[in-house]
Structure 1
Amino acid sequence: MAGHSKFKNIMHRKGAQDKKRSNLFSKLSREITVAAKLGTPDPDMNPRLRLAVNTAKAQSMPKDNIQRAIDKATAGDDESYEEVRYEGYGPGGSAIIVEALTDNRNRTASNVRTIFSKNGGNLGASGSVAHGFERLGYIFYDADAGDEEKVLEAALEAGAEDIQSSDDGHEIWTGAEELHAVSSAMEKVLGEAKEVKLAWKPNLTTELDEKDAGVLLKLVDALDDDDDVQTVWGNYEISDEIMDKLDA
């Protein structure tokens, strides 16, 4: 079950990118508010809200900001956000899934289409690439949470489906419906996870050369910078050597 995973690479260095985005807290707040509106404002009774709050905490979002986002859901404001998914293609035959929360579907669709076309990609029809991904629950612990054996034991006890450990940390996979239960059980043993989220995991990955990788990362960054876009997933794989060159 254990082994090296490229998922952190596939996520396009999300941790580093998130810290650069000036609108990060705004996006996190929107997800928290939507989650609280769809269920109860109590994270312990609302799995989606708990995931949103945990993600916000992992990104060092202040507790006051988190509470304001929850309170906004019960304040009776007129803002109404819709969940929308877009699918498209990047350079080198890569596949991309974009998840958004929007109050104007036409605006968001137009923006996403423009970003794809200006950055070496093509927006596809609904369902054009999702068949190549699996919707799963994803939990990430830093390496200092424990050694591989300890984390593996905790994951199996919690009912996880798979664990992949490397020097970067521990990636735990579970069924989408079981994510809340598995993450809660692991938290009792290992403490709070660095990341807990629903993810689109590619069934097969596409390795990109340096040229295509450079174009792809610009496309992902442009999508990430759009206010309505919440998450960007892909099936691309970029070698550490190429990534180091592009980061230089």
Structure 2
Amino acid sequence: MAGHSKFKNIMYRKGAQDKKRSAMFSKLSREITVAAKAGLPDPDANPRLRAAVLAARAQSMPKDNIQRAIDKASGGEAENYEEIRYEGFGPGGVSIVVDALTDNRNRTATNVRTAFSKNGGNLGASGSVTHGFDRLGLIEYPASVGDADKVLEAAIDAGAEDVESDEDGHRVWTTIDDLHSVSRALESALGEAEAVKLAWRPQTSVTVGEDDAQQLLKLVDALEEDDDVQTVWGNYEVPDEVMEKLG
């Protein structure tokens, strides 16, 4: 699967993110509020909100926090956040897509541009990177849910597009339009997913060496630490032996 590399190299370092739980909850709350404001405040009737709530549950976000974020949108108290996408290039020539929710476009643009420039990358124009990715729905399950054949069978029955399975878990890919229905069907067959989200899946991948990987991971860290940045996606693959050296 091009651009995969155990997926941890695209959305990596869960342990590091866990240490920033407060910042993570803030980002999750922001997405829940925006999703609830954009549609109905009922997760069962709003696919984007349901995906946001599932993502929050996967990170052990308290139920009260989730409901508070929904109520904030329903009560008209929510800030007006703008969805912005940035595209750029990192060390080793990798492509990076950054999705943000911001109430200050100038602040976010400056922060993202600075993160790229200080870490061996450069910000590109709109469309300079996303043409090399597919915008899809992604449903993630832990390896403990069952073997690859079990998940593949359930995914086929649910109408999914593709499945990737390895020791890290299972990733079920769908079209954006089918994400809600496929996730519902899989929930009946396999239980609640670890995550249900929209994702950027690279069409091809770039393998980076140790020097480029070290700077690339610093760039991803800098981007993810920004309060306005929701997700960072890339087409890079870092070999396991390099990841082990970098810790």
TM-score range, shorter chain: over 0.9
1:117 alignment partner AA: S
1:81 aligns with 2:85: no
**Equivalents in 1 of 2:36, 2:141: separation in Å?**
26
Partner residue in 2 for 1:166: 166
TM alignment of 1:159-198, pairs within 5 A: 159-198=159-198
**Equivalents in 2 of 1:24, 1:7: separation in Å?**
22
The 8 Å contact of residues 3 and 204 in structure 2, kept in 1 or not, is answered as: no
Unaligned runs of 5+ in 2: none
**1:78, CA displacement in angstroms?**
5.5
**Equivalents in 1 of 2:224, 2:198: separation in Å?**
17
**Equivalents in 2 of 1:127, 1:68: separation in Å?**
36
Moved more, 128-137 or 72-81: 72-81
Partner residue in 2 for 1:63: 63
- Kindly tell me: are residues 59 and 48 of structure 1, through their superposed partners in 2, closer, same or farther at Cα, counting changes over 3 Å? same
1:103 aligns with 2:123: no
Partner residue in 2 for 1:43: 43
Partner residue in 2 for 1:19: 18
The 8 Å contact of residues 32 and 53 in structure 1, kept in 2 or not, is answered as: yes
Q: Deviations over 1:75-113 (max 9, x none)?
A: 222610000000000000000000000001111111111
Partner residue in 1 for 2:151: 151
SS at match of 2:44: helix
**Equivalents in 2 of 1:35, 1:204: separation in Å?**
31
1:10 aligns with 2:9: yes
2:190 alignment partner AA: L
The 8 Å contact of residues 12 and 217 in structure 1, kept in 2 or not, is answered as: no
**1:181, CA displacement in angstroms?**
0.7
Unaligned runs of 5+ in 1: none
**Equivalents in 1 of 2:157, 2:225: separation in Å?**
39
The 8 Å contact of residues 90 and 122 in structure 2, kept in 1 or not, is answered as: yes
Moved more, 217-226 or 14-23: 14-23
Q: Deviations over 1:93-137 (max 9, x none)?
A: 000000000001111111111111111110011101110000011
Partner residue in 1 for 2:90: 90
Q: Deviations over 1:3-23 (max 9, x none)?
A: 994151332425223212240
**Equivalents in 2 of 1:133, 1:112: separation in Å?**
20
**1:192, CA displacement in angstroms?**
0.5
2:115 alignment partner AA: I
- Kindly tell me: are residues 82 and 14 of structure 1, through their superposed partners in 2, closer, same or farther at Cα, counting changes over 3 Å? farther
The 8 Å contact of residues 3 and 166 in structure 1, kept in 2 or not, is answered as: no
Q: Deviations over 1:133-184 (max 9, x none)?
A: 0001111111110111111110000000111111111111111111111011
Please, what is the CA RMSD of the aligned residues? 1.5
**Equivalents in 2 of 1:77, 1:200: separation in Å?**
31
After TM superposition, the score normalised by the length of structure 1 is 0.96
**Equivalents in 1 of 2:138, 2:7: separation in Å?**
11
Runs of 4+ in structure 1 off by over 4 angstroms are 2-5
The 8 Å contact of residues 132 and 204 in structure 1, kept in 2 or not, is answered as: yes
Moved more, 25-34 or 162-171: 162-171
**1:204, CA displacement in angstroms?**
0.4
- Matched residue count: 246
TM alignment of 1:218-237, pairs within 5 A: 218-237=218-237
- Kindly tell me: are residues 187 and 111 of structure 1, through their superposed partners in 2, closer, same or farther at Cα, counting changes over 3 Å? same
Partner residue in 2 for 1:202: 202
1:178 alignment partner AA: D
After TM superposition, the score normalised by the length of structure 2 is 0.96
Partner residue in 2 for 1:238: 238
**Equivalents in 2 of 1:18, 1:44: separation in Å?**
28
